[in-house]
């Protein structure tokens, strides 16, 4: 993966769960949080409730493949945690790829635009106070 590293530390997962935002569907839940790094970092979790090791590894492979196909569309500088849900092992990577494009990336860009406009508003407000 070009712009991506793997998250291995538990504290990074916990930070994304507690302080990050999330987008969910019936296949995958995506938690994301800015990391102030020049790369994205991803982590994939699959519960034992999903099935045996074969089913869990298939779910991780499908999510990883969908991410790899949409990696260039994701904004850079985020921690992304993908949590597999019930039917992910029976789905195709195109289904998850569609979820990434329509929901996750749009939500991330919308939040990023809102944050930028808030920063600009604060700067204008500070400049008015100085004048």
What pTM value is reported for the model? 0.82
Q: What angle do CA 67, 79, 103 make, to 5 degrees?
A: 50
Tell me: pLDDT of 42 over 90.
yes
pLDDT at 53: 93
What are the pLDDT digits (tens) for 76-118? 889 999 999 887 878 888 889 999 998 888 888 888 777 666 6
Q: Which CATH number is 4-130 given?
A: 3.30.230.10
Which tokens in the block code for residue 82?
A: 């993908």
CB contact burial 33-71 (16+ within 10 A = b; e otherwise): bbbeeeebbbbbbbeeebeeeebbebbbebbbebbeebb
The mean per-residue pLDDT over the stretch 55-76 comes to: 91
Residue 124 has pLDDT above 90, yes or no: no
């Amino acid at each position: 993966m070009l712009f991506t590293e793997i998250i291995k530390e538990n504290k990074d997962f916990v930070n994304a769960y507690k302080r990050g935002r999330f987008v969910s569907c019936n296949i995958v839940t995506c938690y994301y949080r800015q990391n102030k790094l020049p790369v994205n970092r991803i982590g994939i979790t699959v519960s034992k409730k999903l099935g045996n090791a074969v089913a869990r590894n298939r779910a991780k492979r499908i999510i990883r493949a969908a991410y790899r196909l949409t990696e260039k569309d994701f904004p850079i500088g985020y921690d992304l945690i993908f949590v597999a849900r019930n039917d992910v092992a029976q789905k195709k990577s195109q289904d998850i790829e569609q979820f990434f494009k329509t929901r996750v990336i749009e939500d991330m860009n919308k939040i990023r635009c809102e944050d930028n406009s808030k920063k600009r508003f604060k700067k204008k407000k500070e400049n008015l106070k100085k004048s």
